[in-house]
Amino acid sequence: MIITKQKDKKTILDYLKGDKKIFIAGCGECATVCKTGGEEEVLSMKNFLGKYGKIVTGTTVVDVPCHLVKAKKMYQQHKKQIQESDSILAMVCGDGVQTIMDGTKGKKVHPALETLFLGEVQPNGRFVQKCSLCSDCVLDETGSLCPITLCPKGLLNGPCGGAKDGKCEVDKDMDCVWIQIYERLKKLGQLSKMKKIQPTRDNSKRLSPRRLETK
Partner 1 sequence: MSLAEKLKSDKFIVTCEIGPPKGINVDKILKEADSFKERVDAVNVTDLQSSVMRLGSLVMCYLLRTWGHEPILQLTTRDRNRLALQSDILSAAVLGIENILALTGDHPLRGDHPEAKPVYDLDSVQLLEVIKLLNSGVDMAGNKLDGKPKILPGAAVNPGIDPIEPEIIKMEKKVKSGAKFFQTQAVFDIDKFTLFLKKVKHIDVPILASVILLKSPAMAHYMNDNVAGVNVPNTLIKDIESVDKKDRVKKAVEIASGLINGLKTLCRGVHIMPIGWESKVPLLLDAAGL
Q: Which does 191 bind (CB under 5 to 8 A by kind): ligand SF4, partner 1, none?
A: partner 1
How many Å apart are CA 104 and CA 48, to the nearest integer? 24
Sign of CA dihedral 166, 168, 173, 175: negative
Is residue 170 part of the contact set for ligand SF4 (CB under 6 A)? yes
Comparison of 15 and 182: residue with beta carbon closer to partner 1: 182
* Alpha-carbon separation of residue 158 from 132, 164, 167, 183 (angstroms): 19, 15, 15, 12
Q: x/- string (CB under 6 A) for ligand SF4, residues 118-157?
A: -------------xxxx--xxx------x-xx-xxx-x--
- Report the partner that residue 101 touches, choosing among ligand SF4, partner 1, none (CB closer than 5 to 8 A by kind): none
Nearer to partner 1 among residue 63 and residue 171 (C-beta): 171
Tell me the CB-side half-sphere exposure of residue 208, using CA atoms within 13 A: 1
Quick check: 62 and 92 in contact, CB under 8 A?
Answer: yes
**Nearest distance from C-beta of residue 29 to ligand SF4, angstroms:** 20
Q: Checking DSSP bridges between strand 113-122 and strand 2-6, what pairing results, if any?
A: antiparallel
- Residue 94 interacts, among partner 1, ligand SF4, none and using kind-specific CB cut-offs from 5 to 8 Å, with none
Please state the closest distance from residue 18 (CB atom) to ligand SF4, in A.
Answer: 40
Would you tell me which residues interact with partner 1 (CB under 8 A)? 152-166, 169-171, 178-179, 182, 186, 191, 194-195, 197-201, 203
Question: Choosing among partner 1, ligand SF4, none, which partner's interface includes residue 165 (Cβ < 5 to 8 Å by kind)?
Answer: partner 1
* Residue 132 interacts with which of ligand SF4, partner 1, none, CB < 5 to 8 Å by class: ligand SF4
Whether the Cβ atoms of residue 45 and residue 112 lie closer than 8 Å to each other: yes
194 binds ligand SF4 (CB under 6 A): no
Decide: helix, strand or coil at residue 130.
Answer: coil
62 forms part of the interface with ligand SF4 (CB under 6 A): no
10 Å CB burial of residue 153 (0-12, 13-18, 19+) is middle
